[in-house]
Structure 1
Amino acid sequence: MTKTVKDQMNQDVTLPVVPKRIVSLVPSQTELLFALGLREEIVGVTNYCIHPAEEIKQKIKVGGTKSFDVEAVKRLNPDLVIGNKEENEENGINTLKQFLPVWMSDIFNLEDAVDMILRIGALVGKESEAKSIILNIERGFSALPTTKLSSKTAAYFIWRKPYMVAASDTFIDDMLKRAGFQNVFGTLSRYPEISAEQLKQAQPDYIFLSSEPYPFKEKHLQEFQNICPDAAILVVDGELFSWYGSRLQASAAYFSKLGQSG
Protein backbone atom coordinates (compact mmCIF):
# COMPACT_ATOMS: atom_id res chain seq x y z
CA MET A 1 0.00 0.00 0.00
CA THR A 2 1.17 3.49 -0.80
CA LYS A 3 0.28 7.05 0.14
CA THR A 4 0.87 10.36 -1.61
CA VAL A 5 1.93 13.39 0.42
CA LYS A 6 3.26 16.88 -0.19
CA ASP A 7 6.79 17.73 0.82
CA GLN A 8 7.89 21.20 2.00
CA MET A 9 8.51 22.23 -1.60
CA ASN A 10 4.85 21.40 -2.30
CA GLN A 11 5.78 18.45 -4.50
CA ASP A 12 3.80 15.20 -4.48
CA VAL A 13 5.70 12.20 -3.15
CA THR A 14 4.29 8.67 -3.37
CA LEU A 15 5.79 6.22 -0.91
CA PRO A 16 4.84 3.13 1.12
CA VAL A 17 2.43 3.72 4.00
CA VAL A 18 5.25 2.62 6.32
CA PRO A 19 8.65 2.94 4.58
CA LYS A 20 11.14 0.22 5.51
CA ARG A 21 14.29 1.42 3.74
CA ILE A 22 15.21 5.08 4.20
CA VAL A 23 18.19 7.07 2.95
CA SER A 24 18.78 10.44 4.61
CA LEU A 25 20.90 13.05 2.83
CA VAL A 26 20.84 15.64 5.64
CA PRO A 27 22.73 15.29 8.96
CA SER A 28 20.12 16.99 11.15
CA GLN A 29 17.30 14.97 9.60
CA THR A 30 19.30 11.75 10.01
CA GLU A 31 19.61 12.47 13.72
CA LEU A 32 15.88 13.15 13.81
CA LEU A 33 15.08 9.75 12.30
CA PHE A 34 17.04 8.03 15.05
CA ALA A 35 15.38 10.24 17.68
CA LEU A 36 12.00 9.12 16.33
CA GLY A 37 13.00 5.55 17.14
CA LEU A 38 14.04 4.27 13.72
CA ARG A 39 17.07 1.98 13.49
CA GLU A 40 17.05 -0.80 10.90
CA GLU A 41 14.89 1.32 8.58
CA ILE A 42 17.78 3.77 8.06
CA VAL A 43 19.90 2.11 5.38
CA GLY A 44 22.01 4.99 4.06
CA VAL A 45 23.37 8.34 5.23
CA THR A 46 25.94 10.92 4.14
CA ASN A 47 29.55 11.24 5.24
CA TYR A 48 28.50 14.29 7.26
CA CYS A 49 25.83 12.47 9.25
CA ILE A 50 27.59 12.09 12.62
CA HIS A 51 24.82 11.72 15.24
CA PRO A 52 24.14 9.40 16.97
CA ALA A 53 27.83 8.51 16.67
CA GLU A 54 27.82 4.80 17.47
CA GLU A 55 24.79 3.93 15.39
CA ILE A 56 25.91 5.99 12.40
CA LYS A 57 29.05 3.86 12.15
CA GLN A 58 26.90 0.91 11.15
CA LYS A 59 25.22 2.70 8.24
CA ILE A 60 26.30 2.75 4.60
CA LYS A 61 27.66 6.13 3.47
CA VAL A 62 26.56 7.54 0.12
CA GLY A 63 28.91 10.54 -0.15
CA GLY A 64 28.50 14.18 0.80
CA THR A 65 25.37 16.27 1.10
CA LYS A 66 26.21 18.14 -2.10
CA SER A 67 28.09 15.35 -3.85
CA PHE A 68 26.16 12.24 -2.89
CA ASP A 69 26.58 9.23 -5.15
CA VAL A 70 23.31 8.73 -7.00
CA GLU A 71 24.18 5.17 -7.96
CA ALA A 72 25.09 4.31 -4.36
CA VAL A 73 21.70 5.58 -3.23
CA LYS A 74 19.92 3.57 -5.93
CA ARG A 75 21.81 0.39 -4.99
CA LEU A 76 20.36 0.62 -1.46
CA ASN A 77 16.89 0.35 -3.02
CA PRO A 78 15.26 2.80 -0.58
CA ASP A 79 11.52 3.30 -0.52
CA LEU A 80 12.08 6.84 0.84
CA VAL A 81 14.88 9.38 0.38
CA ILE A 82 14.85 12.47 2.62
CA GLY A 83 16.69 15.61 1.51
CA ASN A 84 16.76 19.39 1.87
CA LYS A 85 16.59 22.13 -0.75
CA GLU A 86 19.56 24.09 0.60
CA GLU A 87 21.84 21.26 1.65
CA ASN A 88 21.50 18.94 -1.34
CA GLU A 89 22.58 19.54 -4.92
CA GLU A 90 19.57 20.04 -7.19
CA ASN A 91 20.74 17.99 -10.17
CA GLY A 92 21.45 14.95 -8.01
CA ILE A 93 18.05 15.25 -6.33
CA ASN A 94 16.29 15.56 -9.67
CA THR A 95 18.06 12.45 -10.92
CA LEU A 96 17.02 10.49 -7.83
CA LYS A 97 13.41 11.59 -8.30
CA GLN A 98 13.32 9.73 -11.62
CA PHE A 99 13.78 6.45 -9.76
CA LEU A 100 12.84 6.90 -6.10
CA PRO A 101 10.40 8.69 -3.77
CA VAL A 102 12.27 11.81 -2.59
CA TRP A 103 10.81 13.98 0.17
CA MET A 104 12.40 17.45 0.43
CA SER A 105 12.41 19.91 3.32
CA ASP A 106 12.77 23.67 2.87
CA ILE A 107 13.52 25.43 6.13
CA PHE A 108 14.04 29.09 6.99
CA ASN A 109 12.80 29.36 10.57
CA LEU A 110 11.68 27.49 13.67
CA GLU A 111 8.11 27.10 12.40
CA ASP A 112 9.42 25.39 9.25
CA ALA A 113 11.55 23.07 11.38
CA VAL A 114 8.60 22.11 13.57
CA ASP A 115 6.51 21.48 10.46
CA MET A 116 9.26 19.28 9.01
CA ILE A 117 9.55 17.21 12.20
CA LEU A 118 5.80 16.64 12.29
CA ARG A 119 5.62 15.71 8.63
CA ILE A 120 8.56 13.30 8.77
CA GLY A 121 7.05 11.73 11.88
CA ALA A 122 3.86 11.12 9.89
CA LEU A 123 5.83 9.76 6.91
CA VAL A 124 7.56 7.08 8.97
CA GLY A 125 4.73 6.16 11.33
CA LYS A 126 6.15 7.97 14.35
CA GLU A 127 3.70 10.83 14.86
CA SER A 128 3.50 10.58 18.64
CA GLU A 129 7.30 10.56 18.94
CA ALA A 130 7.48 13.60 16.65
CA LYS A 131 4.93 15.47 18.73
CA SER A 132 6.93 14.72 21.88
CA ILE A 133 10.08 16.17 20.29
CA ILE A 134 8.16 19.24 19.14
CA LEU A 135 6.76 19.77 22.63
CA ASN A 136 10.28 19.75 24.07
CA ILE A 137 11.46 22.24 21.44
CA GLU A 138 8.52 24.59 21.95
CA ARG A 139 8.88 24.49 25.73
CA GLY A 140 12.51 25.46 25.45
CA PHE A 141 11.98 28.36 23.07
CA SER A 142 8.92 29.66 24.92
CA ALA A 143 11.11 29.97 28.03
CA LEU A 144 13.48 32.38 26.28
CA PRO A 145 12.74 35.98 27.30
CA THR A 146 11.43 37.74 24.23
CA THR A 147 13.23 40.96 25.10
CA LYS A 148 16.51 39.49 26.31
CA LEU A 149 19.49 41.20 24.69
CA SER A 150 17.22 42.61 22.00
CA SER A 151 19.51 45.65 21.80
CA LYS A 152 22.62 43.47 21.41
CA THR A 153 24.04 43.03 17.94
CA ALA A 154 25.92 40.04 16.57
CA ALA A 155 27.77 38.77 13.52
CA TYR A 156 27.70 35.02 12.89
CA PHE A 157 30.65 33.65 10.91
CA ILE A 158 30.42 30.36 9.03
CA TRP A 159 33.65 30.60 7.03
CA ARG A 160 37.16 32.03 7.00
CA LYS A 161 39.28 32.92 3.94
CA PRO A 162 37.06 34.36 2.70
CA TYR A 163 34.98 35.57 5.61
CA MET A 164 31.37 34.49 5.20
CA VAL A 165 28.45 35.18 7.52
CA ALA A 166 24.87 34.05 7.98
CA ALA A 167 22.59 36.89 6.89
CA SER A 168 18.88 37.24 6.10
CA ASP A 169 16.61 34.39 4.95
CA THR A 170 18.63 31.77 6.80
CA PHE A 171 17.70 29.46 9.65
CA ILE A 172 20.68 30.79 11.60
CA ASP A 173 19.34 34.34 11.33
CA ASP A 174 16.05 33.18 12.84
CA MET A 175 17.93 31.45 15.66
CA LEU A 176 19.93 34.63 16.35
CA LYS A 177 16.72 36.60 16.71
CA ARG A 178 15.22 34.03 19.06
CA ALA A 179 18.43 34.08 21.09
CA GLY A 180 17.96 37.84 21.47
CA PHE A 181 20.48 39.24 18.99
CA GLN A 182 20.17 41.61 16.06
CA ASN A 183 22.13 40.38 13.07
CA VAL A 184 24.40 43.23 11.95
CA PHE A 185 24.44 41.72 8.47
CA GLY A 186 20.71 41.10 8.42
CA THR A 187 20.23 43.45 5.47
CA LEU A 188 22.41 41.22 3.28
CA SER A 189 21.17 38.06 1.62
CA ARG A 190 21.82 34.49 2.70
CA TYR A 191 25.57 33.73 3.14
CA PRO A 192 27.55 36.68 1.79
CA GLU A 193 31.28 37.17 1.76
CA ILE A 194 32.30 40.18 3.82
CA SER A 195 35.55 42.05 4.35
CA ALA A 196 37.36 42.86 7.56
CA GLU A 197 36.51 46.49 6.88
CA GLN A 198 32.78 45.70 6.69
CA LEU A 199 33.02 43.92 10.03
CA LYS A 200 34.88 46.84 11.55
CA GLN A 201 32.24 49.26 10.29
CA ALA A 202 29.40 47.08 11.63
CA GLN A 203 30.90 47.04 15.16
CA PRO A 204 28.82 44.13 16.55
CA ASP A 205 28.58 43.63 20.29
CA TYR A 206 29.15 39.91 19.74
CA ILE A 207 31.04 37.95 17.11
CA PHE A 208 30.04 34.30 16.95
CA LEU A 209 32.48 31.92 15.26
CA SER A 210 30.60 28.77 14.35
CA SER A 211 32.10 25.34 14.92
CA GLU A 212 30.79 24.36 11.47
CA PRO A 213 31.03 24.31 8.52
CA TYR A 214 34.38 26.03 9.09
CA PRO A 215 35.93 24.55 12.24
CA PHE A 216 36.56 27.77 14.14
CA LYS A 217 38.66 27.29 17.29
CA GLU A 218 39.89 29.39 20.19
CA LYS A 219 43.05 30.15 18.19
CA HIS A 220 40.97 32.29 15.82
CA LEU A 221 39.63 34.65 18.51
CA GLN A 222 42.53 37.10 18.38
CA GLU A 223 42.18 37.53 14.62
CA PHE A 224 38.69 38.94 15.12
CA GLN A 225 39.58 40.80 18.30
CA ASN A 226 42.13 42.76 16.27
CA ILE A 227 39.34 43.90 13.95
CA CYS A 228 36.75 44.63 16.67
CA PRO A 229 38.59 45.21 19.96
CA ASP A 230 35.40 45.93 21.90
CA ALA A 231 33.38 42.91 20.73
CA ALA A 232 32.76 39.79 22.79
CA ILE A 233 34.05 36.98 20.58
CA LEU A 234 32.87 33.41 21.14
CA VAL A 235 33.27 30.08 19.40
CA VAL A 236 29.73 28.73 19.32
CA ASP A 237 28.18 25.31 18.71
CA GLY A 238 27.11 25.47 15.08
CA GLU A 239 24.92 22.40 15.40
CA LEU A 240 22.72 24.14 17.96
CA PHE A 241 22.29 27.11 15.61
CA SER A 242 21.83 25.31 12.31
CA TRP A 243 20.62 21.74 12.85
CA TYR A 244 16.85 21.95 12.49
CA GLY A 245 15.85 18.51 13.74
CA SER A 246 15.69 16.92 17.18
CA ARG A 247 18.88 18.74 18.25
CA LEU A 248 16.72 21.86 18.62
CA GLN A 249 15.61 20.39 21.94
CA ALA A 250 18.93 21.62 23.35
CA SER A 251 19.25 24.92 21.46
CA ALA A 252 17.16 27.25 23.62
CA ALA A 253 18.99 26.37 26.84
CA TYR A 254 22.27 26.99 25.04
CA PHE A 255 21.09 30.35 23.67
CA SER A 256 20.00 31.49 27.11
CA LYS A 257 23.62 31.35 28.27
CA LEU A 258 25.20 33.14 25.33
CA GLY A 259 24.42 36.66 26.47
CA GLN A 260 26.07 35.94 29.80
CA SER A 261 29.40 35.24 28.09
CA GLY A 262 32.06 37.60 26.87
Structure 2
Amino acid sequence: MRPASARGPQRIVCLTEEPTEVLYALGEQHRIVGISGFTVRPAVARREKPKVSAFTSAKIDEILRLEPDFVIGFSDIQAEIASALIRQGVEVWISNHRSVDGVLDYIRRLGALVGATDKANAYADELVRGLDAIAAQAATLPRRPKVYFEEWDEPMISGIRWVSELVAIAGGDDIFPERAASSLARGRILEDPAEVIRRAPDIILGSWCGKKFRPEKVAARPGWDAIPAVRDGALHEIKSPIILQPGPAALTDGVRAIAAIVQAWSAR
Protein backbone atom coordinates (compact mmCIF):
# COMPACT_ATOMS: atom_id res chain seq x y z
CA MET A 1 0.00 0.00 0.00
CA ARG A 2 1.23 3.47 -0.85
CA PRO A 3 1.78 5.89 2.03
CA ALA A 4 -0.95 8.49 2.59
CA SER A 5 1.26 11.24 1.20
CA ALA A 6 1.39 9.40 -2.15
CA ARG A 7 -2.37 9.28 -2.72
CA GLY A 8 -3.86 10.93 -5.76
CA PRO A 9 -2.10 12.63 -8.65
CA GLN A 10 1.52 13.62 -8.07
CA ARG A 11 2.20 15.87 -11.08
CA ILE A 12 -0.62 18.38 -11.58
CA VAL A 13 -0.85 21.16 -14.16
CA CYS A 14 -3.32 23.94 -13.27
CA LEU A 15 -4.68 25.76 -16.32
CA THR A 16 -6.37 28.45 -14.20
CA GLU A 17 -5.58 30.12 -10.92
CA GLU A 18 -8.18 28.63 -8.59
CA PRO A 19 -6.79 25.06 -8.36
CA THR A 20 -3.35 26.52 -7.68
CA GLU A 21 -4.67 28.71 -4.88
CA VAL A 22 -6.63 25.82 -3.39
CA LEU A 23 -3.72 23.36 -3.48
CA TYR A 24 -1.41 25.88 -1.84
CA ALA A 25 -4.03 26.56 0.84
CA LEU A 26 -4.23 22.81 1.52
CA GLY A 27 -0.44 22.45 1.72
CA GLU A 28 -0.43 20.27 -1.41
CA GLN A 29 1.54 22.63 -3.66
CA HIS A 30 4.34 20.08 -4.09
CA ARG A 31 2.05 18.28 -6.53
CA ILE A 32 1.87 21.25 -8.92
CA VAL A 33 4.32 21.15 -11.83
CA GLY A 34 2.81 23.86 -14.05
CA ILE A 35 0.44 26.83 -13.72
CA SER A 36 -1.45 29.45 -15.69
CA GLY A 37 0.44 32.59 -16.66
CA PHE A 38 -2.49 34.58 -15.23
CA THR A 39 -1.89 33.20 -11.75
CA VAL A 40 -1.32 35.91 -9.14
CA ARG A 41 -2.46 34.08 -6.01
CA PRO A 42 -0.52 33.00 -4.15
CA ALA A 43 2.35 35.20 -5.31
CA VAL A 44 4.89 32.53 -4.46
CA ALA A 45 3.43 30.25 -7.13
CA ARG A 46 4.65 32.58 -9.89
CA ARG A 47 8.19 32.27 -8.57
CA GLU A 48 8.13 28.53 -7.98
CA LYS A 49 6.15 27.03 -10.85
CA PRO A 50 6.60 27.14 -14.63
CA LYS A 51 3.85 29.02 -16.50
CA VAL A 52 2.46 26.88 -19.31
CA SER A 53 -0.93 28.32 -20.26
CA ALA A 54 -3.07 31.40 -20.74
CA PHE A 55 -6.83 31.04 -20.46
CA THR A 56 -7.78 30.14 -24.03
CA SER A 57 -4.42 28.74 -25.09
CA ALA A 58 -1.68 26.54 -23.69
CA LYS A 59 1.82 25.34 -24.52
CA ILE A 60 0.82 21.73 -25.14
CA ASP A 61 4.37 20.51 -25.82
CA GLU A 62 5.67 22.13 -22.63
CA ILE A 63 2.83 20.61 -20.62
CA LEU A 64 3.60 17.17 -22.03
CA ARG A 65 7.31 17.58 -21.16
CA LEU A 66 6.24 18.07 -17.53
CA GLU A 67 4.72 14.56 -17.67
CA PRO A 68 1.55 15.48 -15.74
CA ASP A 69 -0.67 12.74 -14.38
CA PHE A 70 -3.55 15.21 -13.96
CA VAL A 71 -4.50 18.52 -15.57
CA ILE A 72 -7.14 20.84 -14.12
CA GLY A 73 -9.00 23.43 -16.19
CA PHE A 74 -12.21 25.41 -16.15
CA SER A 75 -15.25 25.67 -18.42
CA ASP A 76 -16.03 25.19 -22.09
CA ILE A 77 -13.54 27.95 -22.95
CA GLN A 78 -10.71 25.48 -22.25
CA ALA A 79 -12.34 22.61 -24.14
CA GLU A 80 -9.80 22.75 -27.00
CA ILE A 81 -6.86 22.62 -24.60
CA ALA A 82 -8.45 19.71 -22.78
CA SER A 83 -9.14 17.88 -26.04
CA ALA A 84 -5.53 18.24 -27.21
CA LEU A 85 -4.23 16.84 -23.93
CA ILE A 86 -6.75 14.02 -23.80
CA ARG A 87 -5.67 12.93 -27.29
CA GLN A 88 -2.14 12.66 -25.86
CA GLY A 89 -3.38 10.35 -23.11
CA VAL A 90 -3.42 12.93 -20.31
CA GLU A 91 -6.14 12.77 -17.66
CA VAL A 92 -7.99 16.10 -17.57
CA TRP A 93 -10.61 17.49 -15.20
CA ILE A 94 -12.59 20.46 -16.49
CA SER A 95 -14.73 21.91 -13.73
CA ASN A 96 -17.68 24.11 -14.60
CA HIS A 97 -18.84 25.57 -11.30
CA ARG A 98 -20.59 28.94 -11.49
CA SER A 99 -21.97 29.61 -8.02
CA VAL A 100 -20.70 30.23 -4.50
CA ASP A 101 -21.86 26.76 -3.46
CA GLY A 102 -20.15 25.42 -6.57
CA VAL A 103 -16.84 26.99 -5.52
CA LEU A 104 -17.12 25.43 -2.08
CA ASP A 105 -17.96 22.04 -3.55
CA TYR A 106 -15.03 22.39 -5.97
CA ILE A 107 -12.64 22.91 -3.05
CA ARG A 108 -13.98 19.82 -1.31
CA ARG A 109 -13.75 17.69 -4.47
CA LEU A 110 -10.24 18.86 -5.32
CA GLY A 111 -9.15 18.07 -1.77
CA ALA A 112 -10.61 14.58 -2.04
CA LEU A 113 -8.81 13.99 -5.35
CA VAL A 114 -5.43 14.64 -3.73
CA GLY A 115 -6.14 12.72 -0.53
CA ALA A 116 -6.66 15.87 1.57
CA THR A 117 -10.38 15.52 2.28
CA ASP A 118 -10.25 16.65 5.90
CA LYS A 119 -8.09 19.69 5.13
CA ALA A 120 -10.35 20.66 2.22
CA ASN A 121 -13.51 20.34 4.29
CA ALA A 122 -11.99 22.46 7.06
CA TYR A 123 -10.87 25.09 4.55
CA ALA A 124 -14.30 25.23 2.90
CA ASP A 125 -15.97 25.49 6.31
CA GLU A 126 -13.67 28.40 7.17
CA LEU A 127 -14.68 30.18 3.95
CA VAL A 128 -18.37 29.63 4.77
CA ARG A 129 -17.88 31.20 8.19
CA GLY A 130 -16.30 34.23 6.54
CA LEU A 131 -19.21 34.60 4.14
CA ASP A 132 -21.71 34.21 6.98
CA ALA A 133 -19.99 36.98 8.92
CA ILE A 134 -20.19 39.34 5.94
CA ALA A 135 -23.86 38.46 5.38
CA ALA A 136 -24.63 39.09 9.07
CA GLN A 137 -23.00 42.50 8.87
CA ALA A 138 -24.90 43.29 5.67
CA ALA A 139 -28.17 42.43 7.39
CA THR A 140 -27.66 45.39 9.73
CA LEU A 141 -27.42 47.94 6.90
CA PRO A 142 -30.32 50.41 6.77
CA ARG A 143 -30.77 49.95 3.00
CA ARG A 144 -29.56 47.77 0.18
CA PRO A 145 -28.17 49.40 -2.96
CA LYS A 146 -28.99 48.24 -6.47
CA VAL A 147 -25.72 47.15 -8.06
CA TYR A 148 -24.62 46.85 -11.67
CA PHE A 149 -21.52 44.71 -12.09
CA GLU A 150 -19.77 45.01 -15.46
CA GLU A 151 -17.40 42.22 -16.45
CA TRP A 152 -16.53 43.67 -19.86
CA ASP A 153 -17.24 46.91 -21.71
CA GLU A 154 -17.21 46.10 -25.44
CA PRO A 155 -19.64 44.39 -25.58
CA MET A 156 -21.07 45.15 -22.17
CA ILE A 157 -21.29 41.96 -20.11
CA SER A 158 -22.95 41.79 -16.71
CA GLY A 159 -21.77 39.73 -13.74
CA ILE A 160 -21.60 35.94 -13.63
CA ARG A 161 -23.57 33.95 -11.06
CA TRP A 162 -20.99 33.75 -8.26
CA VAL A 163 -20.41 37.51 -8.54
CA SER A 164 -24.15 38.19 -8.34
CA GLU A 165 -24.40 35.96 -5.26
CA LEU A 166 -21.44 37.68 -3.60
CA VAL A 167 -23.04 41.08 -4.24
CA ALA A 168 -26.12 39.81 -2.37
CA ILE A 169 -24.01 38.44 0.50
CA ALA A 170 -22.26 41.82 0.73
CA GLY A 171 -25.59 43.64 1.08
CA GLY A 172 -26.46 44.69 -2.47
CA ASP A 173 -28.95 43.57 -5.11
CA ASP A 174 -27.69 42.71 -8.58
CA ILE A 175 -29.81 44.51 -11.20
CA PHE A 176 -29.40 41.63 -13.67
CA PRO A 177 -30.01 38.47 -11.60
CA GLU A 178 -31.73 36.75 -14.51
CA ARG A 179 -28.63 37.19 -16.68
CA ALA A 180 -26.31 36.00 -13.92
CA ALA A 181 -27.98 32.61 -14.16
CA SER A 182 -26.68 32.16 -17.73
CA SER A 183 -23.85 29.64 -17.83
CA LEU A 184 -22.30 31.26 -20.92
CA ALA A 185 -20.98 34.79 -21.32
CA ARG A 186 -23.13 35.44 -24.39
CA GLY A 187 -26.20 35.17 -22.18
CA ARG A 188 -24.91 38.13 -20.16
CA ILE A 189 -24.23 40.48 -23.08
CA LEU A 190 -26.33 43.62 -22.77
CA GLU A 191 -27.65 44.39 -26.23
CA ASP A 192 -29.24 47.64 -25.04
CA PRO A 193 -27.14 49.86 -22.73
CA ALA A 194 -30.29 51.81 -21.90
CA GLU A 195 -31.46 48.81 -19.87
CA VAL A 196 -28.90 49.80 -17.22
CA ILE A 197 -30.38 53.31 -17.19
CA ARG A 198 -33.86 51.90 -16.70
CA ARG A 199 -32.76 49.68 -13.81
CA ALA A 200 -31.07 52.67 -12.12
CA PRO A 201 -28.22 51.13 -10.11
CA ASP A 202 -26.99 52.94 -7.00
CA ILE A 203 -23.51 51.44 -7.42
CA ILE A 204 -21.59 50.42 -10.53
CA LEU A 205 -18.79 47.91 -10.05
CA GLY A 206 -16.37 47.28 -12.89
CA SER A 207 -13.97 44.40 -13.33
CA TRP A 208 -12.83 44.31 -16.92
CA CYS A 209 -10.93 41.06 -17.21
CA GLY A 210 -7.32 41.89 -17.96
CA LYS A 211 -7.61 45.66 -18.31
CA LYS A 212 -8.17 48.63 -16.03
CA PHE A 213 -11.72 49.76 -15.34
CA ARG A 214 -12.35 53.30 -16.59
CA PRO A 215 -15.15 54.91 -14.54
CA GLU A 216 -14.95 58.15 -16.51
CA LYS A 217 -15.54 56.21 -19.73
CA VAL A 218 -18.59 54.50 -18.21
CA ALA A 219 -19.99 57.77 -16.86
CA ALA A 220 -19.71 59.36 -20.32
CA ARG A 221 -21.99 56.82 -22.00
CA PRO A 222 -25.04 58.50 -23.58
CA GLY A 223 -27.82 58.98 -21.05
CA TRP A 224 -25.92 57.41 -18.20
CA ASP A 225 -25.72 60.70 -16.31
CA ALA A 226 -29.29 59.91 -15.19
CA ILE A 227 -28.14 56.79 -13.32
CA PRO A 228 -27.91 57.33 -9.53
CA ALA A 229 -24.47 55.67 -9.39
CA VAL A 230 -23.12 58.03 -12.05
CA ARG A 231 -24.81 61.07 -10.55
CA ASP A 232 -23.30 60.28 -7.14
CA GLY A 233 -19.90 59.15 -8.39
CA ALA A 234 -20.41 55.61 -7.08
CA LEU A 235 -18.34 53.80 -9.70
CA HIS A 236 -15.69 51.45 -8.36
CA GLU A 237 -13.21 48.92 -9.70
CA ILE A 238 -12.96 45.44 -8.23
CA LYS A 239 -9.63 43.98 -9.38
CA SER A 240 -10.33 41.04 -11.68
CA PRO A 241 -7.92 38.56 -9.97
CA ILE A 242 -9.99 38.73 -6.77
CA ILE A 243 -13.46 38.41 -8.29
CA LEU A 244 -13.47 36.88 -11.78
CA GLN A 245 -12.03 33.48 -10.92
CA PRO A 246 -14.34 30.98 -9.20
CA GLY A 247 -12.05 30.17 -6.32
CA PRO A 248 -11.01 31.26 -2.83
CA ALA A 249 -10.04 34.79 -3.91
CA ALA A 250 -13.63 35.70 -4.78
CA LEU A 251 -14.94 34.27 -1.51
CA THR A 252 -12.44 36.25 0.57
CA ASP A 253 -10.85 39.41 -0.83
CA GLY A 254 -13.44 39.79 -3.59
CA VAL A 255 -16.55 39.76 -1.44
CA ARG A 256 -14.83 41.90 1.21
CA ALA A 257 -14.05 44.55 -1.41
CA ILE A 258 -17.70 44.62 -2.49
CA ALA A 259 -18.89 44.73 1.13
CA ALA A 260 -16.66 47.72 1.90
CA ILE A 261 -18.14 49.64 -1.04
CA VAL A 262 -21.71 48.74 -0.09
CA GLN A 263 -21.17 49.70 3.55
CA ALA A 264 -19.65 53.04 2.59
CA TRP A 265 -22.59 53.75 0.28
CA SER A 266 -25.11 52.81 2.97
CA ALA A 267 -23.42 55.08 5.50
CA ARG A 268 -23.72 58.15 3.27
TM-score, normalised on structure 2? Answer: 0.80
C-alpha separation in 2, matches of 1:136 and 1:164? 31
Matched residue, 1:92: 81
2:149 to 137, 140, 156: 156
The structural deviation recorded for 1:180 is: 2.5
CA distance 1:131–1:187, shift in 2 (3 Å): closer
- Within a 5 Å distance, the mapping from 1:145-224 to structure 2 comes to 145=136, 147=139, 148=141, 151-166=144-159, 170-188=161-179, 189=182, 190-210=187-207, 212-217=208-213, 220-224=214-218
Contact 2:155–2:189, Cα closer than 8 Å, also in 1: no
The structural deviation recorded for 1:62 is: 1.5
Report the secondary structure of 1:259's partner residue: helix
Matched residue, 1:10: none
Report the secondary structure of 1:62's partner residue: strand
| Worse overlay, 199-208 or 113-122 | 199-208
C-alpha separation in 2, matches of 1:149 and 1:123? 44
CA distance 1:134–1:237, shift in 2 (3 Å): same
Report the secondary structure of 2:173's partner residue: strand
C-alpha separation in 2, matches of 1:242 and 1:63? 17
Structure 1's unaligned 5+ residue stretches are 3-15
Structure 2's unaligned 5+ residue stretches are none
1:63 aligns with 2:53: yes
C-alpha separation in 2, matches of 1:137 and 1:110? 10
Matched residue, 2:18: 28
C-alpha separation in 1, matches of 2:191 and 2:237? 19
Report the secondary structure of 1:48's partner residue: coil
* Bigger helix fraction: 2
Contact 1:175–1:241, Cα closer than 8 Å, also in 2: no
The structural deviation recorded for 1:124 is: 1.2
Matched residue, 1:113: 103
In structure 2, give the amino acid aligned to 1:213: C
The structural deviation recorded for 1:250 is: 3.7
C-alpha separation in 2, matches of 1:111 and 1:150? 26
C-alpha separation in 2, matches of 1:191 and 1:149? 30
| Worse overlay, 188-197 or 100-109 | 188-197
Matched residue, 1:256: 259
In structure 2, give the amino acid aligned to 1:200: I
Contact 1:179–1:256, Cα closer than 8 Å, also in 2: yes
Give aligned-pair identity as a percent.
Answer: 24
CA distance 1:127–1:159, shift in 2 (3 Å): same
C-alpha separation in 1, matches of 2:28 and 2:235? 39
Matched residue, 1:83: 73
CA distance 1:110–1:28, shift in 2 (3 Å): same
Contact 2:20–2:29, Cα closer than 8 Å, also in 1: no
C-alpha separation in 1, matches of 2:162 and 2:201? 20
Report the secondary structure of 1:261's partner residue: helix
C-alpha separation in 2, matches of 1:195 and 1:156? 15
Instruction: Report Cα offsets for 1:180-226 as digits up to 9, x if no partner.
Output: 3222222334431444433222211110011x414334xx2233334
Report the secondary structure of 1:157's partner residue: strand
C-alpha separation in 1, matches of 2:66 and 2:104? 29
C-alpha separation in 1, matches of 2:32 and 2:143? 41
TM-score, normalised on structure 1? Answer: 0.81
* Bigger strand fraction: 1
C-alpha separation in 1, matches of 2:22 and 2:257? 19
C-alpha separation in 2, matches of 1:154 and 1:182? 6
The CA RMSD measured in Å over matched residues stands at 2.5
In structure 2, give the amino acid aligned to 1:164: I
